[in-house]
Amino acid sequence: MRDAGNDAIVVGSGPNGLAAAIVLARAGRSVVVYEAATTWGGGLRTEELTLPGFRHDVCATSLPLAAASPFFRELSLDKYGMSWVHPDAPLAHPLHDGTAVLLERSVETTAAGLGADGTAWQRIFGALAARAEMLAHDLLGPLRVPRHPIALARFGALGLLPARTLARAVFTEERARALFAGLAAHSMLALDQPVSAAIGLVLGMYAHAVGWPFVRSGAQVLADALVACLRGAGGEIVTGQPVVSLDTLPVARQVLLDLSPCQVVALAGERLNPGDRRRLCRYRYGPGVFKVDWALDGPIPWRAPECRRAGVVHLGGTLDEIAAAEWAATHGRVPERPFVLLAQPSLFDPTRAPAGRHTAWAYCHVPHGCGVDMTERIEAQVERFAPGFRDRILARHTRSPREFEAYNPNYVGGDINGGVQDLRQLFTRPVPRWDPYRTSDPTLFICSASTPPGGGVHGMSGYHAARSALRAAR
């Protein structure tokens, strides 16, 4: 490891920190990544959380944005031992009548299962899926002159709407409305808020365009591939090395922080001017998540057989029920019947569990920093659509919002999105600035999910921050 004179140091080894380091290293810069934990990856870690042989993704599992990421696709990560597993269908949404709506890779097949709303689904998502690659650079980047203004304007006309408004305006039946509500609820916004429709459109578009794949053997393999790519380009990584102040780092021409704004202020101190510190301290964080991982003695006994074909299952019933749960979480109330996002990767990737056994996890949205144990409420939602589920549980592991923040300080209050992604903080995160990755210190940059395009595993925040650093160096 170089002790001094590096071109750049990156603090944090999540997908954005690693992406930033790779961009710099490939540009010929000497770069070292410092990671406080003993393993790299941030939200891309896989551990035996329950029983030996059961491999659980600590945070992210289904990775449509990673599959769609222009930067990750450019890296050809399969060269470093990573491969995708595609479930038969990206998503299932069971309903109270014992049936389920399937979001298939095919727009036409999905539309066929939506009855009278099939035409509307095909009109909206068929057009988006056809333009998915075209839209990627504009949607997964900062506010700037768009490459494809007409396509982006068409997306924005729908994406700026509240999700519940859009669902009721374009769909007439509960099946399509519920399916879209579940997609939009990934935004961690109340579904009556403007732009809550945007993430639903993005996730539906990519379900059709690239799928919602898992990484074979766990999300950690993607982090390992990124580290191998970094080392192949000449970069270095140091784990088990907490950074408590920028003054303790070796000399470097530039420092990039894969950290949330409150951490940036704590580390940078007087290197930021008072106005910059005030603006970063006013950054807003959203609801947290409560997550349960299970080791199971068999597959989940879904009442609707369609759910066995899906990698992800949304448990929330109707549009109004999902909207009520998300409203509660965003307004500081614990939902009695939470909207639950469940992943069942071992149905399609047998490396995740011993032969004949299975893993699954689920999480729900709760108020920021909430300390309420949601295990019973989450399992009740699973049991509602899969009677006998509890009888399959061999062991469980839970993590509350407070425990998420203790595990990864970037998840402030359990907010895995890196901050609220509403109209005020969608493109102006972390502060309103033409180049959102720069700070008042010309050598200091932010490359976390608290910068555009925000939450999700795509590496594009790190990619754009590193490009900003390279421009500044020139």
pLDDT value of position 303:
98
pLDDT tens sequence across 433-459: 999 999 999 999 999 999 999 999 999
Distance from first CA to last CA of the chain, Å, rounded? 25
pLDDT at 3 over 50: no
The answer to whether the beta carbons of residues 328 and 105 sit under 8 Å apart is no
pLDDT value of position 2:
40
Q: Give the model's confidence band at 6: pLDDT under 50 very low, under 70 low, under 90 confident, else very high.
A: confident
375 inside domain: no
pLDDT tens sequence across 109-148: 999 999 999 999 999 999 999 999 989 888 888 877 678 7
Number of residues that make up the chain: 474
Question: Mean pLDDT, to the nearest integer, of 4-14?
Answer: 89
Look up the domain containing 468 and give its range: 6-44+64-82+215-283+418-473
CA distances from 232 to 15, 176, 330, 430, 469 (A): 17, 46, 43, 32, 21
166 inside domain: no
pLDDT value of position 400:
98
Q: Alpha helices of 269-371 — where are they, by DSSP H?
A: 274-281, 319-330
183 inside domain: no
Three-state secondary structure string covering 95-112: CCCCCEEEECCCHHHHHH
**DSSP assignment string, 32-98:** EEE-SSSS--TT--EE--SSTT--EESS----HHHHH-HHHHHHTGGGGT--EE--SEEEEEE-TTS
178 inside domain: no
Judged by DSSP in three states, 438 sits in strand
pLDDT value of position 64:
97
pLDDT at 335 over 90: yes
pLDDT value of position 435:
94
**What is the identity of the amino acid at 4?**
A
pLDDT value of position 147:
81
342 has which bridge partners?
313, 362
143 inside domain: no
Q: Work out the percent of the chain whose per-residue pLDDT is above 90.
A: 91
pTM, full prediction = 0.95
35 inside domain: yes
The candidate with the shortest Cα–Cα distance to 204, out of 244, 158, 262, is 158
**What is the identity of the amino acid at 137?**
H
Q: How far apart are CA 364 and CA 149, in angstroms?
A: 36
The total domain count for the chain is: 1
The candidate with the shortest Cα–Cα distance to 427, out of 159, 125, 84, 75, is 159
pLDDT at 1 over 70: no
pLDDT value of position 428:
87
pLDDT value of position 137:
86
Question: Mean pLDDT, to the nearest integer, of 149-166?
Answer: 92
The two three-digit tokens of residue 465, written as one number? 């921050």
CATH number at residue 425: 3.50.50.60
What are the phi and psi torsion angles at 237 (to 5°)?
Answer: -140, 135
The answer to whether the beta carbons of residues 290 and 426 sit under 8 Å apart is no
Arithmetic mean of pLDDT over the chain: 95
pLDDT tens sequence across 239-270: 999 999 998 999 999 999 999 999 999 999 89
197 inside domain: no
Q: Work out the percent of the chain whose per-residue pLDDT is above 70.
A: 99
pLDDT tens sequence across 36-81: 999 999 999 999 999 999 999 999 999 999 999 999 999 999 999 9
164 inside domain: no
**What is the identity of the amino acid at 10?**
V
pLDDT value of position 143:
74
